[in-house]
Structure 1
Amino acid sequence: MELAAQIKSNKTIKALAHWSILIPNQARPRLWIKWFVNPFVHKKGKGACIRRRTRLDVVPWNKFNLGNQSTIEDFSAVNNGVGDVIIGDRTRIGLSNTIIGPVKVGNDVRLAQNVVLSGLNHNYTEIDSPIHAQGVSTSPIVIEDETWIGANVVVVPGVTIGKHAVIAAGSVVTKNIPDYSVAAGNPARILKQYDVETKTWKKLNT
Protein backbone atom coordinates (compact mmCIF):
# COMPACT_ATOMS: atom_id res chain seq x y z
CA MET A 1 0.00 0.00 0.00
CA GLU A 2 1.44 3.36 -0.97
CA LEU A 3 2.22 5.96 1.71
CA ALA A 4 -0.68 8.31 0.86
CA ALA A 5 -3.19 5.46 1.10
CA GLN A 6 -1.72 4.35 4.44
CA ILE A 7 -2.04 7.87 5.85
CA LYS A 8 -5.65 8.20 4.66
CA SER A 9 -6.64 4.82 6.10
CA ASN A 10 -5.39 5.58 9.63
CA LYS A 11 -7.31 8.39 11.41
CA THR A 12 -4.53 9.08 13.91
CA ILE A 13 -1.80 9.30 11.30
CA LYS A 14 -4.07 11.34 9.02
CA ALA A 15 -4.76 13.85 11.80
CA LEU A 16 -1.06 14.11 12.60
CA ALA A 17 -0.16 14.64 8.94
CA HIS A 18 -2.86 17.28 8.60
CA TRP A 19 -1.57 19.08 11.71
CA SER A 20 2.00 19.00 10.39
CA ILE A 21 0.94 20.64 7.11
CA LEU A 22 -1.73 23.15 8.15
CA ILE A 23 -1.79 25.64 11.02
CA PRO A 24 -4.58 24.51 13.40
CA ASN A 25 -7.90 26.33 12.98
CA GLN A 26 -6.59 28.09 9.88
CA ALA A 27 -6.56 27.40 6.16
CA ARG A 28 -2.87 28.26 5.87
CA PRO A 29 0.02 25.87 5.33
CA ARG A 30 2.96 25.94 7.71
CA LEU A 31 6.08 27.78 6.64
CA TRP A 32 8.08 24.60 6.06
CA ILE A 33 5.47 23.54 3.49
CA LYS A 34 5.67 26.93 1.74
CA TRP A 35 9.46 26.97 1.70
CA PHE A 36 10.52 23.34 1.20
CA VAL A 37 7.58 21.45 -0.35
CA ASN A 38 5.40 23.70 -2.52
CA PRO A 39 8.22 24.96 -4.79
CA PHE A 40 8.92 21.36 -5.81
CA VAL A 41 5.29 20.16 -6.04
CA HIS A 42 3.50 23.04 -7.77
CA LYS A 43 4.23 24.35 -11.25
CA LYS A 44 5.12 27.97 -12.01
CA GLY A 45 5.62 28.62 -15.71
CA LYS A 46 8.33 30.56 -17.48
CA GLY A 47 7.98 34.30 -16.88
CA ALA A 48 5.12 33.80 -14.41
CA CYS A 49 4.85 36.25 -11.51
CA ILE A 50 3.22 35.98 -8.09
CA ARG A 51 3.34 39.39 -6.42
CA ARG A 52 4.87 39.64 -2.96
CA ARG A 53 1.61 40.57 -1.20
CA THR A 54 -0.34 37.62 -2.60
CA ARG A 55 -1.68 35.20 0.01
CA LEU A 56 -0.84 31.79 -1.41
CA ASP A 57 -2.52 29.17 0.77
CA VAL A 58 -1.68 26.08 -1.25
CA VAL A 59 -1.13 22.57 0.03
CA PRO A 60 0.75 19.69 -1.60
CA TRP A 61 -2.15 17.23 -1.91
CA ASN A 62 -3.95 19.31 -4.59
CA LYS A 63 -2.54 20.99 -7.70
CA PHE A 64 -1.59 24.63 -8.08
CA ASN A 65 -0.29 25.53 -11.52
CA LEU A 66 0.45 29.02 -12.85
CA GLY A 67 1.08 29.15 -16.60
CA ASN A 68 3.77 30.86 -18.63
CA GLN A 69 3.84 34.68 -18.45
CA SER A 70 0.85 34.77 -16.10
CA THR A 71 0.55 37.09 -13.10
CA ILE A 72 -1.26 37.05 -9.77
CA GLU A 73 -1.47 40.63 -8.52
CA ASP A 74 -1.04 41.93 -4.94
CA PHE A 75 -3.61 41.30 -2.19
CA SER A 76 -5.09 38.30 -3.96
CA ALA A 77 -5.71 35.00 -2.14
CA VAL A 78 -5.39 31.56 -3.71
CA ASN A 79 -6.46 28.40 -1.85
CA ASN A 80 -6.32 24.86 -3.22
CA GLY A 81 -7.18 23.11 0.05
CA VAL A 82 -10.32 21.43 -1.29
CA GLY A 83 -9.61 21.45 -5.03
CA ASP A 84 -7.02 22.11 -7.71
CA VAL A 85 -6.31 25.65 -8.92
CA ILE A 86 -5.05 25.66 -12.50
CA ILE A 87 -4.25 28.97 -14.25
CA GLY A 88 -3.25 29.02 -17.91
CA ASP A 89 -0.72 31.02 -19.93
CA ARG A 90 -0.65 34.82 -20.31
CA THR A 91 -3.46 35.24 -17.78
CA ARG A 92 -3.69 38.05 -15.25
CA ILE A 93 -5.37 37.61 -11.87
CA GLY A 94 -6.17 41.16 -10.78
CA LEU A 95 -5.74 42.99 -7.49
CA SER A 96 -7.56 41.51 -4.48
CA ASN A 97 -8.97 38.48 -6.26
CA THR A 98 -10.03 35.40 -4.30
CA ILE A 99 -9.67 31.99 -5.93
CA ILE A 100 -10.74 28.89 -4.01
CA GLY A 101 -10.49 25.57 -5.84
CA PRO A 102 -11.54 23.60 -7.66
CA VAL A 103 -11.02 26.30 -10.31
CA LYS A 104 -9.55 26.13 -13.82
CA VAL A 105 -8.72 29.40 -15.61
CA GLY A 106 -7.69 29.26 -19.26
CA ASN A 107 -5.17 31.13 -21.39
CA ASP A 108 -5.24 34.88 -22.09
CA VAL A 109 -7.86 35.54 -19.40
CA ARG A 110 -8.21 38.86 -17.59
CA LEU A 111 -9.76 39.12 -14.14
CA ALA A 112 -10.24 42.69 -12.89
CA GLN A 113 -10.23 43.77 -9.23
CA ASN A 114 -12.03 42.01 -6.36
CA VAL A 115 -13.21 39.02 -8.41
CA VAL A 116 -14.28 35.94 -6.42
CA LEU A 117 -14.09 32.44 -7.94
CA SER A 118 -15.01 29.87 -5.31
CA GLY A 119 -15.65 26.23 -6.12
CA LEU A 120 -16.53 25.63 -2.45
CA ASN A 121 -19.83 25.76 -0.59
CA HIS A 122 -20.44 25.19 3.11
CA ASN A 123 -23.00 22.53 4.02
CA TYR A 124 -25.82 23.88 6.20
CA THR A 125 -28.75 21.43 6.29
CA GLU A 126 -28.24 20.09 9.85
CA ILE A 127 -29.91 22.69 12.06
CA ASP A 128 -28.48 21.23 15.29
CA SER A 129 -24.88 21.74 14.20
CA PRO A 130 -22.93 24.92 13.38
CA ILE A 131 -22.51 25.44 9.66
CA HIS A 132 -18.71 25.54 9.96
CA ALA A 133 -18.79 22.04 11.50
CA GLN A 134 -20.81 20.43 8.69
CA GLY A 135 -18.08 20.20 6.12
CA VAL A 136 -18.07 21.52 2.57
CA SER A 137 -19.13 20.52 -0.92
CA THR A 138 -17.29 21.41 -4.11
CA SER A 139 -18.11 21.85 -7.78
CA PRO A 140 -15.51 23.03 -10.31
CA ILE A 141 -15.50 26.50 -11.86
CA VAL A 142 -14.10 26.73 -15.40
CA ILE A 143 -13.13 30.00 -17.09
CA GLU A 144 -12.35 29.37 -20.75
CA ASP A 145 -9.68 31.10 -22.86
CA GLU A 146 -9.71 34.83 -23.70
CA THR A 147 -12.45 35.74 -21.23
CA TRP A 148 -12.64 39.10 -19.47
CA ILE A 149 -14.29 39.31 -16.05
CA GLY A 150 -15.00 42.78 -14.67
CA ALA A 151 -14.45 44.15 -11.17
CA ASN A 152 -16.42 42.79 -8.18
CA VAL A 153 -17.79 39.77 -10.04
CA VAL A 154 -18.71 36.62 -8.07
CA VAL A 155 -18.76 33.23 -9.80
CA VAL A 156 -20.45 30.44 -7.82
CA PRO A 157 -19.48 26.74 -7.76
CA GLY A 158 -20.21 24.62 -10.82
CA VAL A 159 -20.24 27.45 -13.36
CA THR A 160 -18.45 27.39 -16.70
CA ILE A 161 -17.84 30.69 -18.51
CA GLY A 162 -17.16 30.13 -22.19
CA LYS A 163 -14.40 31.30 -24.49
CA HIS A 164 -14.02 35.03 -25.26
CA ALA A 165 -16.90 35.95 -22.93
CA VAL A 166 -17.30 39.25 -21.09
CA ILE A 167 -18.81 39.46 -17.62
CA ALA A 168 -19.79 43.00 -16.60
CA ALA A 169 -18.60 44.50 -13.33
CA GLY A 170 -20.62 43.63 -10.25
CA SER A 171 -22.29 40.56 -11.75
CA VAL A 172 -23.09 37.35 -9.88
CA VAL A 173 -22.72 34.40 -12.23
CA THR A 174 -24.94 31.49 -11.16
CA LYS A 175 -25.33 29.67 -14.49
CA ASN A 176 -23.09 28.71 -17.40
CA ILE A 177 -22.26 31.45 -19.91
CA PRO A 178 -21.69 30.28 -23.52
CA ASP A 179 -18.77 31.19 -25.75
CA TYR A 180 -18.63 34.69 -27.26
CA SER A 181 -21.24 36.21 -24.95
CA VAL A 182 -21.62 39.37 -22.89
CA ALA A 183 -23.40 38.88 -19.56
CA ALA A 184 -24.36 41.23 -16.72
CA GLY A 185 -26.49 41.45 -13.61
CA ASN A 186 -27.43 39.54 -10.47
CA PRO A 187 -28.00 36.86 -11.47
CA ALA A 188 -26.02 37.39 -14.66
CA ARG A 189 -28.00 37.26 -17.90
CA ILE A 190 -26.72 37.16 -21.46
CA LEU A 191 -27.04 40.56 -23.17
CA LYS A 192 -25.12 39.97 -26.40
CA GLN A 193 -23.79 37.05 -28.40
CA TYR A 194 -21.56 36.82 -31.42
CA ASP A 195 -23.36 35.64 -34.56
CA VAL A 196 -20.99 33.48 -36.59
CA GLU A 197 -23.06 33.82 -39.77
CA THR A 198 -23.24 37.62 -39.81
CA LYS A 199 -19.94 38.09 -37.96
CA THR A 200 -21.53 40.66 -35.65
CA TRP A 201 -22.39 40.97 -31.97
CA LYS A 202 -26.17 40.88 -31.55
CA LYS A 203 -28.21 42.10 -28.61
CA LEU A 204 -30.60 39.59 -27.11
CA ASN A 205 -34.15 40.30 -25.94
CA THR A 206 -33.90 39.64 -22.20
Structure 2
Amino acid sequence: MRDAVPEGTSAAPERSLAALRGHSYDKGRGLAAQALWVAVSTLIFTQVWCPNRLRVAILRMFGAKIGTGVLIRHRVSVQWPWKLSVGDDSWVGVGAELYNIEPITLGSNVCVSQQAYLCTGSHDRRSPSFAYDNGPIVVEDGVWVCTRATILRGVTVGAHSVIGATALVSADVPPYSVVRPPPPVVTPR
Protein backbone atom coordinates (compact mmCIF):
# COMPACT_ATOMS: atom_id res chain seq x y z
CA MET A 1 0.00 0.00 0.00
CA ARG A 2 1.25 3.46 -0.80
CA ASP A 3 -0.05 5.07 2.40
CA ALA A 4 -1.40 3.99 5.73
CA VAL A 5 -5.10 3.87 6.51
CA PRO A 6 -6.06 7.16 8.20
CA GLU A 7 -7.17 6.73 11.80
CA GLY A 8 -10.93 6.48 12.15
CA THR A 9 -11.51 5.31 8.57
CA SER A 10 -12.33 1.92 7.19
CA ALA A 11 -9.46 -0.06 5.70
CA ALA A 12 -11.55 -0.91 2.66
CA PRO A 13 -14.94 -0.07 1.20
CA GLU A 14 -17.45 -2.73 0.37
CA ARG A 15 -16.28 -4.26 -2.88
CA SER A 16 -17.99 -5.63 -5.92
CA LEU A 17 -15.43 -7.84 -7.61
CA ALA A 18 -17.94 -8.43 -10.41
CA ALA A 19 -17.33 -4.79 -11.41
CA LEU A 20 -13.63 -5.44 -12.15
CA ARG A 21 -12.87 -6.56 -15.66
CA GLY A 22 -9.48 -7.82 -16.85
CA HIS A 23 -9.60 -5.52 -19.86
CA SER A 24 -9.21 -2.42 -17.69
CA TYR A 25 -5.43 -2.35 -18.23
CA ASP A 26 -3.55 -2.29 -21.55
CA LYS A 27 -2.18 -5.75 -22.26
CA GLY A 28 -0.16 -4.36 -25.16
CA ARG A 29 -1.18 -6.98 -27.74
CA GLY A 30 -4.35 -8.55 -29.06
CA LEU A 31 -5.97 -11.74 -27.83
CA ALA A 32 -4.28 -13.93 -30.48
CA ALA A 33 -0.77 -12.80 -29.43
CA GLN A 34 -1.68 -13.28 -25.77
CA ALA A 35 -2.97 -16.81 -26.40
CA LEU A 36 0.07 -17.72 -28.52
CA TRP A 37 2.42 -16.48 -25.77
CA VAL A 38 0.61 -18.50 -23.10
CA ALA A 39 0.89 -21.64 -25.25
CA VAL A 40 4.57 -21.15 -26.16
CA SER A 41 5.46 -20.18 -22.59
CA THR A 42 3.74 -23.23 -21.11
CA LEU A 43 4.87 -25.80 -23.68
CA ILE A 44 8.41 -24.59 -24.44
CA PHE A 45 9.76 -21.46 -22.70
CA THR A 46 9.46 -22.59 -19.06
CA GLN A 47 10.61 -26.17 -19.64
CA VAL A 48 13.91 -27.44 -18.23
CA TRP A 49 14.90 -28.94 -21.60
CA CYS A 50 14.57 -25.60 -23.43
CA PRO A 51 18.07 -24.14 -23.97
CA ASN A 52 18.79 -20.57 -22.90
CA ARG A 53 19.45 -19.37 -26.46
CA LEU A 54 15.95 -20.55 -27.46
CA ARG A 55 14.36 -18.84 -24.44
CA VAL A 56 16.07 -15.58 -25.36
CA ALA A 57 15.03 -15.97 -29.02
CA ILE A 58 11.41 -16.66 -27.99
CA LEU A 59 11.32 -13.55 -25.79
CA ARG A 60 12.71 -11.45 -28.64
CA MET A 61 10.24 -12.99 -31.10
CA PHE A 62 7.41 -11.86 -28.81
CA GLY A 63 8.77 -8.30 -28.59
CA ALA A 64 11.02 -8.30 -25.51
CA LYS A 65 14.15 -6.17 -25.73
CA ILE A 66 16.95 -8.51 -24.63
CA GLY A 67 20.65 -7.57 -24.58
CA THR A 68 23.62 -9.83 -25.26
CA GLY A 69 24.89 -12.44 -22.82
CA VAL A 70 21.53 -12.75 -21.04
CA LEU A 71 20.75 -15.95 -19.14
CA ILE A 72 17.09 -16.89 -18.57
CA ARG A 73 16.69 -20.11 -16.59
CA HIS A 74 13.81 -22.62 -16.72
CA ARG A 75 10.50 -22.08 -14.91
CA VAL A 76 10.84 -18.29 -15.28
CA SER A 77 7.39 -16.76 -15.61
CA VAL A 78 6.94 -13.68 -17.82
CA GLN A 79 3.39 -12.33 -18.07
CA TRP A 80 3.79 -10.30 -21.29
CA PRO A 81 7.22 -10.45 -23.02
CA TRP A 82 6.52 -7.32 -25.07
CA LYS A 83 6.62 -5.39 -21.76
CA LEU A 84 10.09 -6.67 -20.79
CA SER A 85 13.53 -5.08 -21.33
CA VAL A 86 16.75 -6.73 -20.14
CA GLY A 87 20.23 -5.21 -20.50
CA ASP A 88 23.45 -7.02 -21.36
CA ASP A 89 24.89 -9.85 -19.25
CA SER A 90 21.90 -10.12 -16.90
CA TRP A 91 20.58 -13.32 -15.33
CA VAL A 92 17.08 -14.41 -14.31
CA GLY A 93 17.14 -17.46 -12.03
CA VAL A 94 15.04 -20.61 -11.86
CA GLY A 95 11.43 -19.99 -10.92
CA ALA A 96 11.62 -16.18 -10.90
CA GLU A 97 8.30 -14.49 -11.65
CA LEU A 98 8.20 -11.30 -13.70
CA TYR A 99 4.54 -10.30 -13.41
CA ASN A 100 4.79 -7.46 -15.90
CA ILE A 101 1.34 -6.19 -16.73
CA GLU A 102 3.26 -2.89 -16.84
CA PRO A 103 6.85 -2.66 -18.12
CA ILE A 104 9.73 -4.24 -16.23
CA THR A 105 13.18 -2.94 -17.13
CA LEU A 106 16.27 -4.80 -15.93
CA GLY A 107 19.57 -3.02 -16.55
CA SER A 108 22.87 -4.64 -17.47
CA ASN A 109 24.65 -7.03 -15.08
CA VAL A 110 21.47 -7.56 -13.05
CA CYS A 111 20.97 -10.85 -11.22
CA VAL A 112 17.38 -11.79 -10.38
CA SER A 113 17.82 -14.91 -8.25
CA GLN A 114 15.67 -18.01 -7.85
CA GLN A 115 11.99 -17.47 -7.09
CA ALA A 116 12.28 -13.69 -6.86
CA TYR A 117 8.97 -11.94 -7.56
CA LEU A 118 8.68 -8.65 -9.45
CA CYS A 119 5.04 -7.53 -9.51
CA THR A 120 3.86 -4.49 -11.48
CA GLY A 121 0.19 -5.02 -10.63
CA SER A 122 -1.95 -4.13 -7.66
CA HIS A 123 -5.41 -2.85 -6.80
CA ASP A 124 -6.75 0.36 -5.28
CA ARG A 125 -7.99 -0.63 -1.84
CA ARG A 126 -10.29 2.44 -1.80
CA SER A 127 -12.05 1.47 -5.03
CA PRO A 128 -15.43 -0.27 -4.71
CA SER A 129 -14.66 -2.01 -8.03
CA PHE A 130 -11.11 -3.00 -6.87
CA ALA A 131 -9.67 -1.02 -9.80
CA TYR A 132 -6.11 -1.70 -10.91
CA ASP A 133 -3.28 0.37 -9.40
CA ASN A 134 -0.34 -0.72 -11.55
CA GLY A 135 3.11 0.73 -12.10
CA PRO A 136 6.36 -0.15 -13.89
CA ILE A 137 9.45 -1.57 -12.18
CA VAL A 138 12.98 -0.43 -13.04
CA VAL A 139 16.00 -2.37 -11.77
CA GLU A 140 19.13 -0.41 -12.66
CA ASP A 141 22.57 -1.76 -13.65
CA GLY A 142 24.46 -4.08 -11.32
CA VAL A 143 21.59 -4.90 -8.95
CA TRP A 144 21.32 -8.28 -7.24
CA VAL A 145 17.77 -9.32 -6.34
CA CYS A 146 18.34 -12.28 -4.01
CA THR A 147 16.24 -15.41 -3.74
CA ARG A 148 12.54 -14.96 -2.95
CA ALA A 149 12.82 -11.18 -2.71
CA THR A 150 9.72 -9.24 -3.79
CA ILE A 151 9.68 -5.91 -5.64
CA LEU A 152 6.29 -4.22 -5.93
CA ARG A 153 4.84 -1.92 -8.58
CA GLY A 154 6.13 1.58 -9.18
CA VAL A 155 9.59 0.91 -7.70
CA THR A 156 13.00 1.87 -9.05
CA VAL A 157 15.95 -0.02 -7.55
CA GLY A 158 19.09 2.11 -7.84
CA ALA A 159 22.27 0.85 -9.49
CA HIS A 160 24.52 -1.65 -7.70
CA SER A 161 22.07 -2.29 -4.85
CA VAL A 162 21.39 -5.63 -3.20
CA ILE A 163 17.86 -6.73 -2.31
CA GLY A 164 18.35 -9.40 0.34
CA ALA A 165 16.72 -12.82 0.35
CA THR A 166 12.98 -12.59 1.16
CA ALA A 167 13.09 -8.76 1.41
CA LEU A 168 9.97 -6.81 0.41
CA VAL A 169 10.55 -3.59 -1.56
CA SER A 170 7.59 -1.21 -1.88
CA ALA A 171 9.47 2.11 -2.30
CA ASP A 172 12.38 3.33 -4.40
CA VAL A 173 15.85 2.17 -3.35
CA PRO A 174 18.82 4.56 -3.74
CA PRO A 175 21.91 3.38 -5.64
CA TYR A 176 24.48 1.31 -3.71
CA SER A 177 21.95 0.31 -1.03
CA VAL A 178 21.39 -2.98 0.74
CA VAL A 179 17.81 -3.90 1.60
CA ARG A 180 17.60 -6.57 4.29
CA PRO A 181 14.51 -8.51 5.30
CA PRO A 182 13.21 -8.04 8.83
CA PRO A 183 15.08 -10.21 11.31
CA PRO A 184 13.18 -13.16 12.70
CA VAL A 185 11.82 -12.80 16.20
CA VAL A 186 12.49 -15.77 18.44
CA THR A 187 10.14 -16.09 21.37
CA PRO A 188 10.64 -18.47 24.25
CA ARG A 189 8.20 -21.31 24.65
| TM-score normalised by structure 2 residue count | 0.63
Q: Does the C-alpha gap of structure 1 residues 146 and 64 become closer, same or farther in structure 2, counting only changes over 3 Å?
A: same
Partner of 2:53: 49
Q: Does the alignment pair 1:91 with 2:90?
A: yes
Task: Name the residue aligned to 1:80.
Answer: 80
- Equivalent residue, structure 1, for 2:160: 164
SS at 2:30's partner residue? helix
CA-atom RMSD, angstroms?
3.1
- State the 1:79 CA deviation: 1.8
1:21 lines up with 2:33 in the alignment: yes
Of structures 1 and 2, the one with the larger relative CO (CA 8 A, separation 6+) is 2
| Unaligned residue ranges in structure 2 (runs of 5+) | 1-28, 41-51, 183-189
Q: Provide the C-alpha distance between the structure 2 equivalents of 1:19 and 1:148, rounded to a whole number of angstroms.
A: 34
Contact 1:85-1:100 within 8 A present in 2 as well: no
Q: Give the drift of 1:137.
A: 3.2
Structure 2 partner of 1:42: none
Distance 1:167 1:152 in 2: 10
Return the offset for 1:185.
1.9
Question: Where in structure 1 are there 5+ consecutive unaligned residues?
Answer: 1-16, 35-47, 187-206
Between the aligned partners of 2:75 and 2:172, the Cα distance in structure 1 is 28
Structure-2 change in CA distance of 1:164 and 1:71 (3 Å): same
Per the alignment, in what secondary structure is the counterpart of residue 108 of structure 2? coil
The change in CA–CA distance for 1:146 and 1:20 in structure 2 (over 3 A counts) is closer
| CA–CA distance in structure 2, aligned partners of residues 145 and 69 of structure 1 | 14
The within-5 A match list for 1:117-128 is 117-123=118-124, 125-127=126-128
Q: Over alpha carbons, which structure has the higher Rg?
A: 1
Structure with the higher fraction of residues in strand conformation: 1
* Aligned sequence identity (%): 24
Alignment CA distance shift 1:182-1:88 (3 Å): same
Q: Name the amino acid aligned to 2:85.
A: I
- String of CA shifts for 1:68-123, please: whole Å, max 9, x gaps: 01011110111227x72111100000110111221100000111110011112234
Aligned to 1:110: 111
